[in-house]
Amino acid sequence: MGNRWDVKYKNLFQGLYISSFNKESFSDYKMKPPAEPFKIKVIEPVRVPSEQERKEAIRKAGFNTFLLLSDDVYIDLLTDSGTAAMSDNQWAGMMLGDEAYAGSKNFYNLEKSVQDVLGYKYLVPTHQGRGAEHLMYSNLVKPGQLVPRNMYFTTSKVHVELPGGKMVDVIIDEAHDPENTNPFKGNVDFNKLQKYIDDYGADKIAFVNVEMNVNMAGGQPVSMENLRKLREFCNNYKLKIIFDATRSSENAYFIREREKGYENTPIVDILNEMMSYSDGCIYSSKKDCLVNIGGFLATHDKEIFEATRSMVVVYEGLHTYGGMAGRDMEAVARGLREGAQYEYLKYRVNQVRYLGYLLMEAGVPIVKPTGGHAVFLNALKFLPHLARDQWPAQTLSAAIYEDSAVRTMERGAISKGRDSETGENIFPKLELVRLTIPRRVYTNTHMEYTANSVINLYEKREIIPGLKMVYEPKYLRFFQAKFEQLPL
Ligand code: PLI
C-alpha cells in the first residue's frame, strides 16, 4: 500500500519510479532511522580521543586521513572496503577453509556463488579488486587505446594507463552536478561514447567499462535500461563491455526501488540480467560481498577467461585461490549471497540515506540523491573561501577528524591526480568528502554523532584554513600525500 509520499513524488517523476524514491531530497520529508535486520553478538570497544590528541594526530598525519592510526579514530568512515562485519554464517564458513594449494573446495563454492548470483560461467580469483583490474585491463588494453567509462575510479585509471591506455569519461552530465537528483546518475551518455568512436574509430576503443553504483559520482546507480541499450550499441561496433561490478548488489537494489517493472523482482534475478549485458567484470569482494579481503574477475567469454587464468598464476597465485586463503574464499562465497538479500540491502541503503537526510535537513551541501555506500559532502560549497589548490575536500576531511575523531576521505582533485600527458593537476567538477559507511558495523546513533560533527563545522565553516601540499608520491597520491595548514 502506498503512503502519501508515494502519491506525491510519483507524480513528480512522471511514473518512472515505482516507490517513494528521492523523498529524502525534499525538506518536508521526515525520515526515521532504519531498523537493523540483525542483532549484535560481538563488539569491539572504541574511544573518542581527546581534543589535544586529535589535534596532534592529524598534524602528525600531514592532514591526510589515510595516515592516521586507526587507534586514534572513533568512527571510521574512510572506506566501505574490507570494513564490513561478517555474519555468524560467514565466520562458520571460515572454519571450513580448505587450505590446499590446488583444487580447494572453497574455490568451487565461490565459483558456484558467482554463477548463481551473477550468472557468469568463468571465475578467476584474485587477492582484491585491483588484482582483477590488473589481469583484465592489461590483457585487453593495447598502447594508445581508449577506455570509455562512466567516471574514473583511482585504481582502475592506473591499471588502464599502465598498459598504455587512457580512460575517458562518458557518464551523463548530471553526474557532475551535485544538486541534480536524476535517479540514475551513473548512466552512460551514448552521445559522448559515439563521439569517441567517430573521432578515433572503434578499433581505438579497448572496451567499454561500466561501473555499478559509481563511486566517484557519489555511489550513483546505472539503470537496467541503460545497460540493455549499451549492449545493443556496443554490438554494432563489436565492442566488449566490462563491468566494474564491485557495488552491483547495491545498484540492483536501486533498480528495484526506482525502475519500472522491477519492483517485485528478486535481487539475484536483477543481478543476473545486469551481468548478461556484459562480457565480463572485475569485482572487489571487499564491498558488497561483506568480507575483509578478496576479489575476482568473472566472464562469459572463454578467451578472456583463458588469457587471464594464465596470468593469474604469474601475479596472484594458482587459479584456484588467486591470492586468497581457502577460508577467505568461503567467506566471499557466502557473503556474495548474503549481500544480495533484499532485506539486508534495504537496511543498508537506508542507513546511508539516513545520514544524508540528517545533513540535508541542516542545510549541509551534499551530493544528491544520497548514494548507496556513502554520503558525499560538496566541499566547494562547504568551503567556498578556499581556492582549488588549497584543496577544499582534503581540508574538510582533516577538519572533521579534528572536530570529532570521525575519519572520512577526500574524493576530489587530490584523488584525481595529474594529467598523464601534461603533468598538470586536474581539478574535477566534483570536489567531495566521502563519509563511507562500513556494512553492518555502525549503529544509527553513530550516524547521528557524525552528522552533529559535520553540522557543527558547517556552522563555523569560514574559520577553517586551507592546506598546501608538501609531499606528493608518484602513484595514487591521495594515499600518502602530506599537507601543511595555510594561514587563514
Ligand atoms: O580496493 P580493491 O583493490 O579491492 O578494489 C579496487 C576498486 C575497484 N573498483 C572500485 C569501484 C572500487 O571502489 C575499488 C576500491 N575502492 C576503495 C578502496 C574505496 O575506498 O572506495
Cα of 215 from ligand 1 centre, angstroms: 9
Q: In sequence order, which ranges of 141-258 are alpha helices (DSSP H)?
A: 154-161, 190-200, 224-236, 248-258
Q: Where do the domains of the chain lie, and which CATH numbers do they carry?
A: 31-80+342-485 (3.90.1150.10), 88-338 (3.40.640.10)
Ligand 1 atom nearest to CA at 131: 3
pLDDT tens digit string along 47-100? 999 999 999 999 999 999 999 999 999 999 999 999 999 999 999 999 999 999
Phi and psi of 391, rounded to 5°? 55, 65
Cα separation, 153 vs 137, in Å, equals 13
> Tell me, what's the pLDDT at 288?
98
Q: Residue 475 — very low, low, confident or very high, per pLDDT cuts 50/70/90?
A: confident
Cell output for 178? 551535485
The answer to whether 275 and 119 have CB atoms below 8 angstroms apart is yes
| pLDDT > 90: percent of the chain | 91
Cα of 256 from ligand 1 centre, angstroms: 24
pLDDT tens digit string along 319-345? 999 999 999 999 999 999 999 999 999
Q: Residue 451 — very low, low, confident or very high, per pLDDT cuts 50/70/90?
A: very high
Strands, E assignment, 40-133: 75-76, 122-126
Strands, E assignment, 253-334: 280-284, 295-299
Per-residue pLDDT averaged across 349-373, rounded? 96
Q: Is 180 helix (H, G, I), strand (E, B) or coil?
A: coil
Q: Residue 23 — very low, low, confident or very high, per pLDDT cuts 50/70/90?
A: low
Q: Residue 20 — very low, low, confident or very high, per pLDDT cuts 50/70/90?
A: very low
Does residue 244 line the site of ligand 1, with CB under 6 A?
yes
Cα of 283 from ligand 1 centre, angstroms: 9
Phi and psi of 336, rounded to 5°? -60, -40
Does the structure show a pLDDT above 70 at 11? no
- Could you count the other beta carbons within 10 Å of the beta carbon of residue 290? 25
- Could you count the other beta carbons within 10 Å of the beta carbon of residue 295? 28
- Could you count the other beta carbons within 10 Å of the beta carbon of residue 169? 16
Cα of 196 from ligand 1 centre, angstroms: 26
Cα separation, 133 vs 173, in Å, equals 26
Q: Which of 19-28, 211-220, 263-272, 422-431 has the lowest mean pLDDT?
A: 19-28
Question: What pTM value is reported for the model?
Answer: 0.93
Residue whose cell numbers read 537528483: 181
Does residue 246 line the site of ligand 1, with CB under 6 A?
yes
Cα separation, 304 vs 133, in Å, equals 13
- Could you count the other beta carbons within 10 Å of the beta carbon of residue 57? 19
Does the structure show a pLDDT above 90 at 26? no
Does residue 350 line the site of ligand 1, with CB under 6 A?
no
Q: Is 401 helix (H, G, I), strand (E, B) or coil?
A: helix
Q: Which of 19-23, 268-272, 274-278, 480-484 has the lowest mean pLDDT?
A: 19-23
Which of 137, 147, 155 should be mutated for ligand 1, with most atoms under 8 A from CB?
155
Per-residue pLDDT averaged across 20-47, rounded? 79
Ligand 1 atom nearest to CA at 214: 11
> Tell me, what's the pLDDT at 190?
98
Does the structure show a pLDDT above 90 at 22? no
**Residue 313 CB partners (closer than 8 Å, separation 6+):** 319
Ligand 1 atom nearest to CA at 133: 8
Q: Which residues are catalytic?
A: 101, 153-154, 244, 287, 411, 478
Q: What is the DSSP letter of 165?
A: -
Ligand 1 atom nearest to CA at 284: 4
Residue whose cell numbers read 597465485: 317
> Tell me, what's the pLDDT at 28?
55
Per-residue pLDDT averaged across 298-323, rounded? 98
The answer to whether 230 and 211 have CB atoms below 8 angstroms apart is no
Environment class of 387 (CB within 10 Å of its CB; exposed 0-12, middle 13-18, buried 19+)? exposed
| DSSP H helix total and E strand total for the chain | 17, 14
